Amino acid sequence: MAENSEFCDYRSPLATRYASKEMRFNFSDQNKFSTWRKLWIYLAKAEMNLGLAITPDQIAEMEAHINDIDFEAAAKEEKATRHDVMAHVHVFGNQCPKAAPIIHLGATSCYVGDNTDLIILRDGFDILLPKLGAVIRRLAKFALDNRSIPTLGFTHLQPAQLTTVGKRATLWLHDLLMDERAIRRARNDLRFRGVKGTTGTQASFLQLFNGDGEKVKKLDELVTKMAGFEKRYPVTGQTYSRKVDLECLNALSSLGATVHKICSDIRILANMKEIEEPFESTQIGSSAMPYKRNPMRSERCCSIARHLMTLVNNTLQTAANQWMERTLDDSANRRITLPEAYLSADVILMTLQNITEGLVVYPKVIARHIAQELPFMTAENVIMAMVKAGGDRQVCHEKIRVLSHEAGAQVKQHGKDNDLIERIRRDKYFEPILGQLDALLEPSTFVGRAPEQVLEFLQEEVYPVLANYEGKDVSPVELSI
């Protein structure tokens, strides 16, 4: 059989299998190079407005060719010149013969390269934030609906005092709110590099404007506004500081840690059969074990989140290794790291959205697990009741201690149910409080203020954040396994 050439080259699974169409486009060559052309137009417009010999016809010619990029011609030029920006300058100039003399006028490569990166980073955040808002909204509803269902709490992954299913979800929500704040802050902190020249001094533009520094400053302001930014970095080298990338990836890597924790919890709860992620009727859990219902979405989140968490180390190294006004050893690394971080974040948010809109809770399984552990947890309540009935605390404590060890042996050594309460009922010492035992064992009395905490947290912390995303929900998506 003949080979299909489409499948003979490596293609990133992030692009072909997982990430959304809008995020893939954001980091596409089409978007990148058409943005370069827009930036050349912004520069030419601003230079024309400030008195340089540029005509409206030249601007119109460039605007007519923003999107029709001849990628083959650009690749041929780059192979000859070994310079991607000049290759595209030549190709754009060939399409726009009137404008060719003024394309890229006074600029350096980083004018289009860095400014485009900043636009793409900003737009990437704009894709991610509504998806994060959608996850928070779904998880908030889950917390609200399940705020009063008692469940075993765990410390050291050992059964501890009861909490509720909804209260546990607020712990997940709390971390997601921190991520929303960090990502929104990183997005809003982004500025434009603007027109700064080869080493950031704007010397070439000062020459263009015959030493008029105010015009050069105005040029920077005009181009910044045209690109949709309120502020620009006041000082740069040839590039904007690579700590900017670090701030962006810090926020995304932190999101990865949150999603990994949430989905690890869900995987553990799925093992206990207390909570289950969505599982389609035709879905196969195992090729060998037909009965299995693997938490594959949560596993995927953990898998890609681990990759996302490692990427911030690249930006740390790049920021640390920039020499003087810039060095080119950032380029190849950033081409890989920045897209992969945003695509990875996009994947885990879409997958987590799918999980949170279809989480299934099994209250009877949860109740059974509580019943196995709650008798031990009632010990203090039983002691207090006996003291109120006239008993001696130390005597009662010793009685409970002996009976608890006997019941524990039944569970651990013989695999039987916890029979501590039955042992208490049979012991005449506890006759004064036998009528209270059922009330003392009611799980809802062991959850403290958990239901109220859920309501307060949602009202005070979650809903004000969700108000920023009204009308920006993301529709459910089909996810590849």
pLDDT at 318 (0 to 100): 92
The pLDDT value recorded for residue 289 is 45
Local confidence band at 280 (pLDDT 50, 70, 90 cut-offs): low
CA–CA dist 312, 341 (Å, integer): 8
Evaluate if residue 275 carries a pLDDT over 80.
Answer: yes
Do 132 and 250 sit in the same domain of this protein?
yes
- Count the domains in the chain: 3
CATH number at residue 358: 1.20.200.10
Q: 362, 385, 416: which is the final residue of a domain?
A: 362
Q: What percent of the chain has pLDDT over 90?
A: 68
Q: How confident is the model at residue 478 (pLDDT cuts 50, 70, 90)?
A: very low
**Least confident span in 113-122, 152-161, 432-441:** 432-441
Q: Do 186 and 126 touch, CB atoms closer than 8 A?
A: no
Has residue 376 been placed in a domain? yes
Residues 369, 432 share a domain: yes
- Please give the pLDDT value at position 445: 86
Residue 453 is predicted with a pLDDT of: 96
Domain harbouring 67, CATH code = 1.10.275.10
Tell me which of 327, 362, 397 is where a domain ends: 362
Residue 481 CB neighbour total at 10 angstroms: 9
For 326-337, write each residue's pLDDT tens digit. 888 888 899 999
Strand 360-361 and strand 158-164: the pairing is unpaired
What is the tens place of the pLDDT at every residue in 40-66? 999 999 999 999 999 999 999 999 999
Residues 119 and 158 in one domain: yes
Residue 69 lies in a domain: yes
Do both 432 and 303 map to the same domain?
Answer: no
The CATH number linked to 377 is 1.10.40.30
Residues 438, 296, single domain; the answer is no
Q: pLDDT of 296-311, one tens digit each?
A: 899 999 999 999 999 9
Catalytic annotation present for 369: no
Lowest mean pLDDT across 22-26, 256-260, 373-377: 373-377
pLDDT value at residue 290: 44
pLDDT beyond 60 at 473? no
The answer to whether residue 38 is domain-embedded is yes
Torsion of CA 345, 349, 350, 353, to 10 degrees: 180
Residue 264 confidence class, pLDDT cut points 50, 70, 90 = very high
- The answer to whether residues 299 and 356 belong to one domain is yes
Q: Which of 83, 174, 286, 331 is catalytic?
A: 286
Q: Which residues contact 126 (CB under 8 A, 6 or more apart)?
A: 187
384: nearest Cα among 373, 375, 393: 393
CA dist 118 and 312 (Å) reads: 17
Strand-strand pairing, 158-164 and 150-155: antiparallel
E strands present in 166-257: none
Residue 358 shares a structural domain with residue 340: yes
> Distance between CA 221 and CA 42 in Å, rounded?
11
- Average pLDDT value for residue range 374-403: 85
Asked if 269 and 379 sit in the same domain, the reply is no
Out of 20, 104, 109, 156, which one is annotated catalytic? 156
Residue 360: partners with Cβ closer than 8 Å, 6 or more residues away: 275, 276, 277, 278
Q: How far apart are CA 318 and CA 356, in angstroms?
A: 36
> What SS3 class is residue 430?
helix
Q: How far apart are CA 216 and CA 233, in angstroms?
A: 15
Structural domain containing residue 49: 26-95
Whether 455 is covered by a domain: the verdict is no
Q: What global pTM score does this model have?
A: 0.87
CA distances from 207 to 86, 203, 310, 322 (A): 21, 6, 44, 28
In a domain, 147, yes or no: yes
Final residue of a structural domain among 39, 67, 95: 95
- Is residue 344 among the annotated active site residues? no
148 belongs to a structural domain: yes
pLDDT at position 175 over 60: yes
pLDDT at 4: 67
In a domain, 285, yes or no: no
Read off the pLDDT of each residue in 196-204 and give the average, rounded to a whole number. 92
For residue 88, the tally of other CB atoms under 10 A from its CB is: 25
Task: Tell me if 149 is assigned to some domain.
Answer: yes
**Same domain for 88 and 117:** no
Q: Are residues 376 and 417 in the same domain?
A: yes
- Binned at pLDDT 50, 70 and 90, residue 286 comes out as very low
Q: How far is CA 66 from the centre of its chain?
A: 32
Same domain? 274 vs 422: no
Same domain, 182 and 258: yes
**Chain centroid to CA 27:** 17
